[in-house]
Amino acid sequence: MLELGQLPRLPPPLGLLRATGAGRHPAGLHQGHQHGQGEKLPRPLLHLQPLQRLPSAQGWYLNLSFSYRSSGTYEYLTINSVHNFDFQLYKRFLKDRLSLSLNVSDIFNTISRKTDGTYGNVRFQQQKWEDTRSVQLRLTYRFNQAKKQYRGENSAQEAVGRMGGK
C-alpha cells in the first residue's frame, strides 16, 4: 500500500527494457464514492510510462513506449484503466541535416474510456471509444544548420554582435 506522496518503486530491468518513470496522478489524492453506496474509497490513479530507446549498429533508433493509467476515483467518478503502446523508428543522415522517422501511435487500438459516477441519487455511465491509431512518416531537412551549437562563454556575446548589438 502506498502512502500519500510516495511513488512506487520501479521494477528492475527486464532484458533490454527498463522502466524510466512511474507516479501518481494528482487526481488520485481525492476520494470517491462507489456506485451510490456512500462508502469512501481512496483509489489513487497510478500512471506508468516506460520508454526504451534501442540503437542499432547501422545508426537506426527504435523507441518503444508503453503508457498505463490504472482505474481510480476522482471526487464522485470512478474512471477505468487506460493503456497504449507506441513506437518510433528514427535515422539521421548527412551529418544530422536530414532525418527520417516513422511514428506509430496506439498500435493495438486500446484507448477507450469508461466512467461511472454517482451524484446524489443519480448514477451515470459514460463509455467512449475513439480510433486513436496513427501512422506518421516524417522527412526533415535542416537548412543552414549551425556547425557548432555551443561555443563556450562568449557565444552569447558573439550572437548579440551578429545581430547588430554592442
pLDDT tens by residue, 65-94: 888 877 777 677 777 888 888 889 999 998
Predicted local confidence at residue 98, as pLDDT: 92
- What the block records as the C-alpha cell of 121 is 441519487
Element (H, E) at 155: helix 155-162
pTM of the model: 0.52
Predicted local confidence at residue 160, as pLDDT: 72
Distance CA(101)–CA(78), nearest Å, equals 38
Among all chains, which residue has been given the C-alpha cell 500512471? 47
Distance CA(59)–CA(92), nearest Å, equals 8
∠ CA(17), CA(18), CA(20), 5° rounding?
Answer: 140
- What the block records as the C-alpha cell of 154 is 562568449
Among all chains, which residue has been given the C-alpha cell 532525418? 99
Q: CB atoms < 10 A from the CB of 148, how many?
A: 7
32 pLDDT band, cuts 50/70/90, is very low
C-beta separation of 44 from 24 below 8 A? yes
pLDDT tens by residue, 93-116: 988 889 999 999 888 888 777 888
C-beta separation of 99 from 91 below 8 A? yes
Predicted local confidence at residue 104, as pLDDT: 92
